[in-house]
């Protein structure tokens, strides 16, 4: 029992008792011991593990950059241009002599802000539209469906460019554009799924059990569309990172004073033929981060599904 | 709140259970309420109020228009029907697929709004509306559905599923839920340990037992089954059928069972309503309807189904 408890982030007494019961049942040989908590199942898959590690490293980098970077990420140093990787400059220096590692470390803050901010907006917009689209009167539902179809027609980057040209380029614009676009997308993708679940017999049984619409939503609908939401949200985080990089590359994203991976990539890109290694670093961290968010989403989707979690095929 | 307060009228009924759980009385069709009749109960008169009663109940579905100039197609799933179910009865509703059986059942429990007509439960009008206004009805009724794979939320543990009516109806404190869930799980023949497992770990028959546990956990007087046996294979069906009969006797349940299995009906019910094309064409005591069917459709139905010897 103690071995199973250790490592649990929150030792909720009910959970502990459940685990105790499970492990004792497993010892009796009553059932396969394939039962695990969702976070254990997440860490048990290679892709889930990579996703968790990537996101933890990203967040840790952002946290560390608040208090420490090896060099000032904003300070140009004309005498230190184009150093190769060395112990003093881990990833070398760029065209104006900044330490690339320090810029990337500081830029991870921007990435975290954009990813988390846009995912939050996407979640709020997505849940709100999905709830309205499934629980309200028919004419409201149809209206929302039409609205979603119209909003879907605008590419995210275009929305961001439109907002940026009105309000000026800023992180806020990127966050709102990606958040709203993905919120709408989530609502559209989950619409059919919500309708299917809303008509299912277990929802009917819940109604027959005296549950009102609100509680049916929180107890049955939202948990059952969670897989769709999780995948879409992780995707929106990944795309937010790309959109920020892309918009900063185009000059509509973070202002010049904000360190950003996309901006660094844009600044180094003209020199790709001369100093390919310098350009590699921002591209690499963007790729690894996007991959991390995507894999984390896939892992979470599987790990929170009791049917997959206990499959024991890994 | 104590259990007895939560389920009014329960104590009054319980003394009957031990004495009149005789299914034979139910099957030989003496009167509509064999249990009450066996007691010589005064309520066995035509004027007593039924537990559940429907008058002129109908449901029309209008499909959304496909074309701007034509109205949507109209389907009368249920033409106006009258139906009475007395306390202690087991009413079987039979008929082919699409005959409106499920629609009828859903209307009786206010899971759908009728196009016309009224439903009365224990003398009180049932009006579809917000969950809070129907709580009194939910407390007295339970339902099992046909497909035990679709009627249990795959993401909820069995304990939470079975406790759902307690949660929904605000019965008991949290601590008592677990005890009651274990009690009901054992009553339907499952281990207490099942509560911490998930639906996908159980077979169809076990799942239907879970659904049954959920339907009776709050101590209803009326249990409605929407073809609760038809998705199960034959041996499992027989066991669930026995369980139903057993629970009916021990809990004093009134049953309304939708089925198209004549064997099930003979085994379980004392009254039958025959439905086709959204109408009840014949209803009466099981022995009479199955033995001397009056309506041509009933005769067709009976000749089409291989019957067991009664």
So what's the ipTM on this one?
0.79
**Minimal CA separation from A217 to chain B, in Å:** 13
- For B196, the closest of A21, A206, A310 (CB atoms) is A21
Q: What is the pLDDT of residues B6-24, one digit of tens each?
A: 444 334 443 333 333 344 4
Q: Is residue B262 part of a domain?
A: yes
Best B164, B213, B230 residue to mutate vs chain A (most A CBs within 10 Å): B164
pLDDT at A100 over 60: yes
**Calpha distance B271→B286 (Å, rounded):** 5
Measured CA to CA in angstroms, residue B150 lies from B91, B102, B162, B191, B231 at distances of 25, 15, 15, 22, 11
Beta bridge partners of B276: B279
Query: Helix, strand, or coil here: B33?
Result: coil
- Closest to B223 measured CA to CA, from B90, B78, B47, B37: B90
Give the span between the Cα atoms of A114 and A237, in whole angstroms: 8
Crossing angle for the helix pair A261-268 and A100-135, nearest 10 degrees? 130
d(CA B83, CA B104): 10
Could you say which DSSP state residue B40 is in?
T
Say if residues A54 and A296 touch (Cβ distance below 8 Å): yes
Angle of helix B174-187 versus helix B204-216 axis, rounded to 10: 130
CB contact under 8 Å between B201 and A310, yes or no, is yes
**pLDDT (mean) for A151-177:** 85
Q: What percentage of chain B carries pLDDT values higher than 70?
A: 81
For residue B132, list chain A residues with Cβ-Cβ distance below 8 A: 212
pLDDT at B175: 64
Give the end-to-end CA distance of chain A in Å, rounded to a whole number. Answer: 23
Helix (H, G, I), strand (E, B) or coil at B214: helix
Distance from CA of B257 to the nearest CA of A (A): 16
Count of domains forming chain B: 1
What is the per-residue pLDDT for B54? 93
Angle between helices A156-167 and A222-250 (to 10 degrees): 60
Global pTM?
0.75
In A, minimum Cα distance to B159 occurs at A18
User: A-chain residues within 8 Å CB-CB of B139?
Assistant: 210
Enumerate the residues of chain A whose CB falls inside 8 A of the CB of residue B111. 204, 207-208
In the predicted model, is pLDDT for residue B46 greater than 70? no
**Do B111 and A30 lie within an 8 Å CB cutoff?**
no
CB of A91 closer than 8 Å to CB of A284: no
Query: pLDDT confidence of B42, banded at 50, 70, 90?
Result: very low
CA of A186 to nearest chain B CA: how many angstroms apart? 21
**Tokens of residue A67, six digits:** 């208090």
Domain of A243 in residue numbering reads as 39-72+92-312
Q: To which residue do tokens 């649990």 refer?
A: A8
Q: Look at residue B177 and tell me whether its pLDDT is greater than 90.
A: no
B136 phi and psi angles, rounded to 5 deg: -60, -35
DSSP of chain A, one letter per residue? -HHHHTT-SS--HHHHHHHHHHHHHHHTTSS-S----HHHHHHHSHHHHHHHHHHHHHHHHHHHHHH--SS-TT---GGGTTPPS-SSSTT-B-TT--BHHHHHHHHHHHHHHHHHHHHHHHHHHHHHHHHHHHHS-HHHHHHHHHHHHHHHTS-HHHHHHHHHHHH-S-HHHHHHHHHHHHHHHHHHHHHHHHHHHHTSHHHHHHHHTT--HHHHIIIIIHHHHHHHHHHHHHHHHHHHHHHHHHHHHHTSSS-TTS--HHHHHHHHGGGTTT-HHHHHHHHHHHHHHHHHHHHHHHHHHHHT-HHHHTT---
pLDDT at B53: 92
Number of domains in chain A: 1
Token couple for B259: 């089925």
Residue B82 lies in domain = 50-304
Beta-bridged to residue B125, according to DSSP, are B120
Average pLDDT, chain B: 81
Structure tokens at A120: 């939050």
CB A220, CB A197: distance < 8 Å = yes
Please report, for the domain that includes residue B118, its CATH number.
3.40.50.300
* Residues of chain A positioned with their CB less than 8 A from the CB of B214: 205, 209
Q: With CB atoms and an 8 Å threshold, state whether A215 touches B153.
A: no
Closest by CA position to A245, among listed A181, A157, A306 = A157
Of A71, A107, A150, nearest to A263 by C-alpha is: A107
B143 and A201 within 8 Å at the Cβ level: the answer is no
In a domain, A33, yes or no: no
Which of B64, B113, B156, B223 has the most A C-beta neighbours within 10 Å, making it the best mutation to test the interface with A? B156
Contacts of residue B170 in chain A, CB cutoff 8 Å?
A: 210
Helix (H, G, I), strand (E, B) or coil at B300: helix
* A295 within a domain of the structure (yes/no): yes
What distance in Å separates residue A116's CA from the closest CA in chain B?
27
**A224/B153 touch (CB, cutoff 8 Å), yes or no:** yes
Give the CATH number for residue A209: 1.10.3720.10
Nearest Cα residue to B200 out of B245, B258, B161, B252: B161
Which distant-in-sequence residues (6+ apart) come within 8 Å of B166 by Cβ?
A: B172, B177, B180, B181, B217, B218
Q: Is the pLDDT of residue A5 over 80?
A: no
A25: nearest CA partner in chain B: B193
Instruction: Indicate the average pLDDT of chain A.
Output: 82
Q: Is A199 a member of any domain?
A: yes
Q: Which two tokens stand for residue B270?
A: 């004392």
Give the least confident one: A33-37, A188-192, B74-78.
Answer: A33-37
* Residue A31, in any domain of the structure: no
Set of chain B residues whose Cβ sits within 8 Å of the Cβ of A207: 111, 131
> Within a domain: residue A14?
no
What is the per-residue pLDDT for B93? 93
- At residue B171, does pLDDT exceed 90? no
Q: Between A and B, how many CB-CB pairs are < 8 A? A: 86
Listed in sequence order, the residues at least 6 apart from A257 whose beta carbon sits closer than 8 Å to its beta carbon are A74
Neighbours of A257 (CB within 10 A): 6
What pLDDT does residue B225 have?
93
Nearest to A205 among B132, B143, B200 (CB): B143
- pLDDT band for position B32 (50/70/90)? very low
Examine residue B233 and state whether it is found in any structural domain, yes or no: yes
pLDDT score of A313: 42
User: Measured between CB atoms, which of B109, B153, B193 is closest to A202?
Assistant: B153
Measure the CA–CA gap between B218 and B139, rounded to whole angstroms: 7
B307 — pLDDT class (breaks 50, 70, 90): low
Higher pLDDT, B10 or B175: B175
- In eight-state DSSP terms, residue B150 is T
φ, ψ of residue A85 to 5 degrees: the values are -60, 135
Task: Please report residues of B whose CB lies closer than 8 A to that of A220.
Answer: 153
In this predicted structure, which of A168-182, A216-230, B60-74, B136-150 has the lowest mean pLDDT?
B60-74
Q: Which residue of A has its CA nearest to B214?
A: A209
pLDDT-derived band at A29, boundaries 50, 70, 90? very low
Would you tell me how many other CB atoms lie within 10 Å of the CB of residue B42?
8
Chain A positions touching B147 (Cβ under 8 A) are 201
Of the CA atoms within 13 Å of residue B260, those in its CB half-sphere come to 17
pLDDT at B11: 41
Distance CA A86, CA A81 (A): 13
Which residues partner with B62 through β-bridges?
B74
Q: What is the β-pairing status of strands B116-121 and B124-126?
A: antiparallel
Work out the burial of residue A191: count CB atoms within 10 Å of its CB; fewer than 13 is exposed, 13-18 middle, 19 or more buried.
buried
CB contact under 8 A, A212 and B131: yes
**Structural tokens at position B180:** 């009651």
Q: Which of A24, A38, A201 would best serve as a mutation to test chain B binding (most B beta carbons within 10 A)?
A: A201
């Amino acid at each position: 029992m103690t071995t199973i408890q250790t490592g649990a982030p929150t030792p909720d007494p009910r959970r502990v008792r459940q685990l105790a019961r499970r492990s004792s049942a497993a010892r009796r040989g009553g059932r396969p011991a394939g039962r695990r908590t969702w976070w254990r199942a997440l860490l048990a898959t290679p892709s889930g593990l990579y996703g968790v590690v990537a996101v933890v490293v990203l967040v840790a980098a952002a946290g560390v950059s608040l208090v420490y970077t090896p060099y000032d990420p904003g300070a140009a140093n004309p005498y230190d241009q184009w150093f190769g990787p060395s112990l003093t400059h881990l990833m070398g220096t760029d065209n104006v002599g900044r330490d690339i590692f320090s810029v990337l470390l500081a830029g991870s803050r921007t990435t975290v802000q954009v990813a988390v901010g846009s995912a939050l907006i996407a979640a709020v917009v997505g849940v709100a539209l999905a709830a309205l689209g499934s629980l309200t009167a028919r004419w409201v539902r149809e209206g929302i469906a039409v609205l979603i179809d119209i909003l879907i027609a605008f590419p995210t980057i275009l929305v961001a460019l439109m907002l940026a040209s009105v309000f000026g380029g800023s992180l806020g614009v990127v966050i709102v554009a990606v958040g709203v676009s993905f919120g709408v997308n989530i609502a559209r993708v989950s619409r059919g799924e919500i309708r299917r679940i809303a008509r299912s017999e277990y929802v009917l049984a819940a109604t027959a059990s005296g549950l009102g619409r609100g509680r049916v939503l929180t107890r049955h609908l939202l948990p059952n569309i969670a897989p769709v939401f999780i995948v879409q949200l992780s995707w929106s985080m990944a795309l937010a990172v790309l959109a920020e990089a892309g918009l900063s590359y185009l000059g509509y994203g973070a202002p010049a004073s904000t360190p950003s991976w996309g901006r660094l990539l844009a600044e180094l890109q003209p020199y790709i033929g001369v100093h390919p290694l310098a350009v590699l670093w921002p591209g690499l961290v963007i790729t690894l981060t996007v991959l991390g968010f995507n894999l984390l989403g896939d892992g979470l989707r599987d790990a929170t599904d009791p049917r997959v979690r206990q499959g024991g095929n890994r | 709140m104590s259990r007895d307060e939560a389920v009014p009228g329960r104590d009054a009924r319980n003394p009957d259970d031990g004495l009149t759980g005789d299914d034979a009385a139910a099957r030989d069709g003496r009167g509509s309420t064999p249990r009450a009749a066996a007691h010589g109960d005064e309520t066995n008169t035509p004027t007593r109020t039924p537990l559940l009663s429907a008058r002129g109940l109908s449901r029309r579905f209008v499909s959304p228009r496909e074309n701007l100039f034509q109205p949507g197609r109209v389907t009368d799933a249920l033409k106006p029907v009258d139906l009475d179910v007395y306390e202690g009865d087991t009413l079987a509703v039979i008929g082919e697929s699409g005959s409106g059986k499920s629609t009828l059942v859903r209307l009786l429990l206010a899971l759908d709004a009728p196009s016309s007509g009224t439903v009365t439960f224990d003398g009180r009008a049932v009006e579809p509306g917000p969950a809070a206004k129907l709580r009194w009805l939910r407390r007295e009724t339970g339902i099992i559905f046909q497909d035990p794979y679709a009627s249990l939320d795959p993401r909820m543990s069995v304990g939470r599923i079975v406790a759902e009516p307690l949660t929904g109806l605000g019965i008991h404190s949290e601590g008592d839920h677990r005890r009651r869930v274990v009690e009901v799980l054992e009553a339907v023949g499952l281990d207490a340990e099942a509560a911490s497992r998930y639906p996908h770990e159980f077979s169809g028959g076990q799942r239907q037992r879970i659904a049954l546990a959920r339907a009776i956990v709050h101590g209803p007087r009326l249990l409605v089954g929407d073809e609760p046996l038809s998705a199960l294979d034959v041996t499992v069906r027989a066991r669930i059928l026995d369980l139903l009969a057993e629970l009916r006797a021990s809990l004093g349940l009134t049953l309304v069972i939708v089925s198209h299995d004549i064997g099930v009906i003979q085994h379980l019910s004392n009254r039958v309503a025959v439905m086709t094309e959204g109408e009840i064409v014949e209803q009466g005591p099981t022995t009479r309807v199955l033995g001397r069917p009056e309506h041509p459709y009933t005769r067709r139905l009976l000749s089409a189904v291989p019957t067991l010897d009664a």
